[in-house]
């Protein structure tokens, strides 16, 4: 099996890496300190073709394969994880629009999204429905040729700057079959942006609450059909998890490079600190986990490009990469010591940025549930009637010649 990146894929990586060195690295620390969303940067990424790498050429996209997209997100995230997640969510929105929206809506939104002039957002999570997305309460009621939406969404990445939102709302009964998806323009009456979320990390990404108060949208804004929303969400979260795995790999790669350089340059007791096993072993472990995380990620992306199911593979890639990023970001801080605890070096930013990769697009616990179910099936949902009847084993009761139960004689102590 060979899923080594092709020359074309490596060219994408080098192009994005060069862009990141020139356009992101010099500013990432300032964006982090000031919680700046670098909106002009995404116009430049649009000119480069990166904002449209998920969409087809018919709508102005680059139509890159999955391996190329994860390589691009990895390189962006190596420089600034907030930029990486902004691009990843843009891809999530573009894929859903192209797969499920009408031709009119595709033509209206995708060209400007691919050019980086417009951003997209994905609004699924609510205050009372996080990992249990099927319990969402935002409502969408049909009134003639319109739907009227009411409720609020949380953790909407890109939301403060997005032109278009993929919004999941309840059109039917409780449970996943009652959920539908809508494509809603920012200028829709009744749609407003709530609080801007102040986060531990990824300060250069924008996260907001989305408020819907009698927001009226045409029936044509419905994606696919009523009741298809949960299926749309699940079908795209697999590829979304690859984007977050790529983000985690980028953070981990940055941790390794920062740790390696510091261990070579910093001298204590008359020699580089990298000469001490306490430091060098940490760096060796980083390198091993980086290679392993990349292999899981690239393999899952390779599978998706061949039309293979990636639910299990994407969960494994995200689980491992995010765990490794969080673990080794802490080790990066430790290697740098007191300097690692200051914003004079990027280690503390990696430490703060890494944690979110274990939470969004499905927590690490959810990834383990997905992986276990692929291996074991849904054992928790089997009823007693579904289980095979237990076959009685051979009787251990002793009986006499007339069928009466023979009881053991009472013990007599001597």
Q: Are 351 and 328 in contact (CB under 8 A)?
A: no
Is 39 a residue of the active site?
A: no
Query: Which CATH code fits 7-119?
Result: 1.10.540.10
133: confidence class by pLDDT, cuts 50, 70, 90? confident
Across 11-19, average pLDDT:
98
Beta bridge partners of 192: 211
Number of H helices, E strands in the chain: 11, 10
> What CA–CA distance (Å, rounded) separates 104 from 52?
18
Q: Between 5 and 381, where is the model more confident?
A: 5
Q: Are 150 and 139 in contact (CB under 8 A)?
A: yes
CATH number for 121-227: choose from 3.40.50.10860, 3.40.50.300, 2.40.110.10, 3.90.1580.10: 2.40.110.10
Query: Which CATH code fits 231-379?
Result: 1.20.140.10
* Domain chopping of the chain, boundaries: 7-119, 121-227, 231-379
pLDDT over threshold 90, residue 130: no
131: confidence class by pLDDT, cuts 50, 70, 90? confident
Across 230-244, average pLDDT:
92
pLDDT over threshold 50, residue 395: no
pLDDT value of residue 380: 60
| 208-231: b (≥16 Cβ within 10 Å) or e | bbbbbeebebeeebbbeebbbbbb
pLDDT value of residue 340: 98
pLDDT value of residue 3: 72
Q: Which of 10-14, 97-101, 129-133, 153-157 has the lowest mean pLDDT?
A: 129-133
- For 412, other C-beta atoms within 10 Å of its C-beta total 5
> What CA–CA distance (Å, rounded) separates 398 from 34?
82
pTM for the model:
0.90
pLDDT over threshold 50, residue 80: yes
Question: Percentage of the chain with pLDDT > 90?
Answer: 86
Q: Between 329 and 236, where is the model more confident?
A: 329
Give 385-394 pLDDT, tens digit per residue.
444 444 444 4
Marked catalytic residue, from 4, 74, 361, 405: 361
Q: From start to end of 110-254, where are the E strands?
A: 119-123, 139-143, 146-157, 162-170, 179-185, 191-196, 207-218, 222-223
Across 270-282, average pLDDT:
98
Q: Are 54 and 99 in contact (CB under 8 A)?
A: no
Q: Are 188 and 211 in contact (CB under 8 A)?
A: no
Residues in the chain: 414
Q: Which of 248-252, 289-293, 364-368, 374-378 has the lowest mean pLDDT?
A: 374-378
């Amino acid at each position: 099996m060979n899923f080594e990146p092709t020359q074309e894929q490596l060219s994408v990586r080098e192009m994005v890496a060069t862009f990141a060195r020139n356009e992101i690295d010099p500013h990432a620390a300032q964006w982090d300190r000031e919680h700046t969303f670098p909106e002009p940067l995404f116009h430049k990424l649009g000119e480069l073709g990166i904002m449209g790498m998920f969409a087809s050429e018919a709508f102005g996209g680059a139509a890159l394969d999955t391996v190329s997209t994860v390589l691009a997100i990895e390189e962006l995230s190596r420089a600034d994880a907030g930029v990486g997640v902004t691009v990843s969510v843009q891809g999530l929105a573009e894929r859903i629009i192209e797969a499920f929206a009408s031709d009119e809506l595709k033509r209206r939104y995708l060209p400007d999204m691919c050019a980086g002039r417009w951003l997209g957002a994905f609004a699924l999570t609510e205050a009372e429905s996080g990992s249990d997305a099927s319990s969402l309460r935002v409502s969408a009621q049909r009134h003639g040729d319109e739907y009227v939406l009411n409720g609020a969404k949380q953790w909407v990445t890109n939301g403060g700057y997005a032109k278009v939102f993929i919004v999941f709302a309840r059109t039917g009964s409780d449970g996943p079959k009652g959920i539908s998806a809508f494509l809603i323009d920012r200028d829709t009456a009744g749609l407003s942006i709530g609080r801007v979320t102040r986060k531990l990390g990824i300060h250069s990404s924008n996260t907001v609450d989305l408020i819907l108060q009698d927001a009226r949208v045409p029936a044509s804004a419905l994606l696919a059909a009523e009741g298809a929303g949960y299926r749309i969400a699940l079908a795209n979260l697999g590829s979304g998890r690859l984007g977050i795995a790529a983000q985690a790999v980028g953070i981990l790669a940055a941790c390794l490079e920062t740790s390696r350089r510091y261990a070579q340059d910093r001298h204590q007791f008359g020699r580089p600190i990298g000469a001490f096993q306490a430091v060098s072993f940490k760096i060796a472990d980083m390198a091993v986990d980086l290679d392993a995380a990349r292999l899981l990620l690239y393999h899952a992306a390779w599978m998706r490009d061949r039309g293979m199911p990636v639910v299990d593979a994407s969960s494994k890639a995200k689980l491992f990469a995010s765990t490794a990023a969080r673990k080794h970001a802490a080790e990066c801080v430790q290697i740098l010591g007191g300097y690692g605890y200051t914003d004079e070096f990027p280690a503390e930013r990696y430490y703060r940025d890494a944690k979110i990769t274990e939470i969004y697009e499905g927590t690490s616990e959810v990834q383990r549930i997905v992986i276990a179910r692929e291996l074991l099936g849904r054992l928790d949902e089997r009823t007693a009637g579904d289980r095979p009847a237990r076959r009685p084993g051979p009787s251990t009761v002793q009986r006499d010649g007339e069928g009466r139960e023979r009881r053991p004689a009472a013990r007599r102590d001597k």
